[in-house]
Amino acid sequence: MVKGKNTAGLDLPLPTSPVGVTKSELAYQAMRDGIVNGLLQAGDRLPSTRVLSQRWGVGRGTLESVFERLQLEGYITRKVGSGSRVSATIPDRYLKAVSTAQTTVTRHKEPAMVEAAPVSVRKHYQAQVGVPFVARLASPLLISPAEWAAHLQRAMAAMQPEQMCSVEPQGAWVLREQIAKYLRNHRGIDCLADQILITNGIRHSIDLLARCVVKPGDHVCVEDPGYPAVHHIFEQAGANLLYGPIDQDGLNLGGISNEIECRIAYVTPAHQSPLGVIMSATRRMTLLDWAQRNNTWIIEDDYDSEFNYQSAPLPALKSIDTMNRVVYCGSFNQALFSNLRLGYMLAPPALQRKVLDLWHTVGRSVGVSEQLGLAAFMQGPAFLRHLRRSRQEYQTLRDIVLETLRAEAGTLSH
């Protein structure tokens, strides 16, 4: 195959449209899957939007937005005069992997390399409503207590007597159904309600995983810079932290020795915390391939993907996890209000059973009324309407900050 001459994209079929899926999403999935599955390879030139428009019966404007999305995620590059080319490099082992494959590796008692931990500051700053530059606290002004109370009251009125005394071990079924539907439609994750475990937030999910997976002395890879609270959770579990630097493409595993067995890699691929980098497609594939070869679990912290201001929210790393190595963790505490204390976890079956056993032992900490209230909030248009309102508000605030910084930077330069 001659690089630059390939037009394999012409042979990519546009999938049959399920109910509720737009042509834009179908075109995106067809092209992304072609790259992920190796039908389109790094350096291959893609057909023009005009050619694809004629073949697929999709408007050129729609395809332009699809190409822009693929470029933003790092799957393709676009240059005026030379067209669009695949830029994501997919490891051969990833292409050959079976979704249920498990790789056994030898545990090294004496690691060949020990990463020096950067100096960490243990000082904590309390988030406060009305204080600027606090990104981790949802604005309580965007959802009124009366609006939330109405959904909560409706859910409580419909509650069955048996629900007051017992609830499904993984959480209320009606809520898990709504979360699974949301993940399928908005995060690209093919999942069902019985795969979801309700927790009280992402840190709670990670703590459960750490206690199930990490033994004293095990290595855990974290981002540098990263989320200090999560680093502390792993340290409390007895882990030795390996710090993977963040560059323009996300987590760089180049400094992690292959001689070290790493039990967990923790990442924030959709919006790296705190630098805001989006992990490129190549890095995502490299991470999945590395995790498969080293029998490592990946924890994907998807803490604020609802608030991407450049395009539609990027698909989750879990959505391309054909090897079942990713544990997906999400929360409603930032999307709605911080004291809601409701999150969820989507783990591979082998890990889910361990976490559920521990969950039974320590006792569930999420009340059924909050779960049913949130399910009622998600069943109608209220939840998505709230996300749109919040996204607009936060983008306005972000733009004010950026405009002020640009203005002040110009003043200082003079």
Print the SS3 string covering 52-96: HHHHHCCCHHHHHHHHHHHHHHCCEEEECCCEEEECCCCCHHHHH
What is the pLDDT, as a whole number, of residue 114?
A: 39
Closest by CA to 90, choosing from 251, 268, 326, 281, is 281
* CATH of segment(s) 145-379: 3.40.640.10
pLDDT level of residue 154 (50, 70, 90 thresholds): confident
Which whole number is the average pLDDT over 376-383? 89
Distance CA 260, CA 248 (A): 25
pLDDT at 226 over 90: yes
Closest by CA to 322, choosing from 70, 33, 11, is 33
pLDDT level of residue 111 (50, 70, 90 thresholds): very low
Sign of the Cα torsion 157, 160, 165, 168 reads: negative
Which whole number is the average pLDDT over 217-235? 95
Q: For the chain, where do the domains classified as CATH 3.40.640.10 start and end?
A: 145-379
pLDDT at 327 over 80: yes
Which strands, in side-by-side order, build the sheet including 297-301?
196-199, 343-346, 326-331, 297-301, 262-267, 219-224, 240-247, 250-251
Q: Model pTM? A: 0.76
Q: For the chain, where do the domains classified as CATH 1.10.10.10 start and end?
A: 8-88
For residue 263, report the phi and psi dihedrals to the nearest 5 degrees: -75, -40
What is the pLDDT, as a whole number, of residue 233?
A: 96
**pLDDT for 61-96, tens place per residue?**
999 988 988 888 888 888 887 788 888 777 666 555
Strand, helix or coil for residue 169: coil
What is the pLDDT, as a whole number, of residue 110?
A: 36
pLDDT at 18 over 60: yes
Which whole number is the average pLDDT over 331-358? 89
Higher-scoring residue by pLDDT: 16, 63: 63
What is the pLDDT, as a whole number, of residue 113?
A: 39
What is the residue-averaged pLDDT of the chain? 81
> Residue 183 half-sphere exposure, CB side, CA atoms within 13 Å?
26
Cα-to-chain-centroid distance, residue 268:
7
Domain 8-88, CATH number (from 3.40.190.10, 1.10.10.10, 3.40.50.720, 1.10.287.90): 1.10.10.10
**pLDDT for 157-213, tens place per residue?**
877 766 666 667 788 999 999 999 999 988 889 999 999 999 989 999 999 999 999
* Percentage of the residues of the chain whose pLDDT score is greater than 70: 79
Mean pLDDT is lowest, of 162-171, 177-186, 244-253, 403-412, for 162-171
Higher-scoring residue by pLDDT: 296, 169: 296
Kindly list the distances between the CA atom of residue 151 and the CA atoms of 140, 181, 317, 342, in Å, as whole numbers in the listed order. Answer: 17, 19, 32, 16
Distance CA 193, CA 406 (A): 46
pLDDT at 269 over 90: yes
Tokens read off for 219? 């290595």
Which whole number is the average pLDDT over 320-346? 90
Mean pLDDT is lowest, of 12-21, 123-132, 162-171, for 123-132
Place of tokens 């990946």: 298
What is the pLDDT, as a whole number, of residue 42?
A: 84
pLDDT at 381 over 60: yes
Which whole number is the average pLDDT over 352-367? 82
Phi-psi region of 57 (alpha: psi -120 to 50; beta: other; left: phi over 0): left
Which whole number is the average pLDDT over 246-274? 90
What is the pLDDT, as a whole number, of residue 124?
A: 46
Cα-to-chain-centroid distance, residue 28:
18
